[in-house]
Structure 1
């Protein structure tokens, strides 16, 4: 088992990465002196696969565990599901010493974390991410929240977990569709901070497709290392440093929201957003055309979309106006200068955004 620490002073926590160690989570929870009452939040599929093992481990360690299930899918990362989880907290008689554990992908983690951050003004929470996307991205950094019909993650908070427990073995049960969703975020880390890592993904894609655990281990570990360093430098996005993690997410979130969270998964939308940002940077003279094609080639080799189908371009532009990176009525984009380096700018004209989206939706 490897440990990557996210250094945030009193809010610091470890990310444990290893294989076949879910059955030991009870001991780790004991080592962290968690309260005896735990609400485990999951969905039907993940609970069927791993819920019993996690509950048994926690119960053997002396914890009293209740279960709350959330239907799968981004559409259920909502205020209505949040209220249902609050009701589960009440029914389970959670107190200020209790803990909420999210067992599942990004939707489960975001919901569980948001409920933990607000119930009784904050209780402990732990993340057991079971998708590649959650292990490399959403489980690290403390962003928790829910969507509104008008936009993604418009309600939320910054709230760090006590620890993250990423068991790579569970990824063996994922479909390739689920794996490639996570790979969109892996590619993002190479684009924003590590050209060598980007090249490694290109060279090792077949190993990743085969779910070679040695390759997956490196991809997860390097992604978490990159994200941890960015978060440590700007935990609450007050300095402009953390916003580079939103590369691909500006257009991506707008695509998700304008399609009602039904047409594209999060990873697919991020891939579209990265291509959109790369095209904008290309037209502004920042990002060379061969680099755009290299990014496009890797995304297509993974099987991720690089053009938008079935979503109205005007609706996407409307959703962009609700993006969290709008400051003083100006939309900020994260754009690439080269593979491994990006920058934040508010100098993208509405006409250029419109033309880029029109080209992407052809």
Structure 2
């Protein structure tokens, strides 16, 4: 993949989230270290990123990298297009219009290499030969494993790609199995370049943001557990915004999997803060009453960036020794480190949230490629 970098006159890194900005910073400190002609685009999707502005934390993460001034670009989002709302032909035409609109706003140059995630609108219109993909989440790992390990699926996908391209379908609709990519998740037999979170070098701004927590944890304990609570905003249930239901479930999550000598740090998903009335007070009170030492990370962080510091950065900077969650892509990105305990407990949430145990499928598919590093309850 490194040889591929030398073919192009310029490299454009497309960022659309704080996590991708962390990957970009690490790339510029490693395989892109000797390359000077780099442009950074901060992609803002209309109607989505204006709900929760990730730009300030992304700028803080990539601060000082090669003295590049990132450029903000506003593009349409494909996520408002639901395949359930259209017939196949009509849906195809809607996606074609999406691609045309992105192309009108952003000109694709074939002499430029683009690096970015599959969630990016810009990356979705770039030809495969002109891009390197950055893994964004669990779906990316599973898609890659399915396509590479299942021969029938692999040949079926190849057939769809050939026919789809003849019809003019954009590659992202064809589930293209990208030749080049970068991931924080180290899978056995994977061809993606691995970025090890343990080698992350935080910027001065990120260190300053985290300094109150660094000071708080200094000399306290080496048993620091990061808990990722489930919240109404990223669990499809009939409970609406009733955080009390989730507080009780998250308390049980901790009681089942943590000892009282562990110092617990709470980090909510950024979507928790879509509702400005949401807060962790109830959950924190339950944990304290149960005898735990607990702190909410976001109580030490500016309101504008609550929930947005990538978990991988938090684990590295604060020396976290254990991560507990219902499930999280974070665990897969940490699993190559044998010195950290990773505990997933999806079963606890299935019956109360009236769902099938679909989450376990993620671990069932991926955990063997991680040497079973994640303990699934």
Larger radius of gyration: 2
- Between Structure 1 and Structure 2, the one with more helix by share is 1
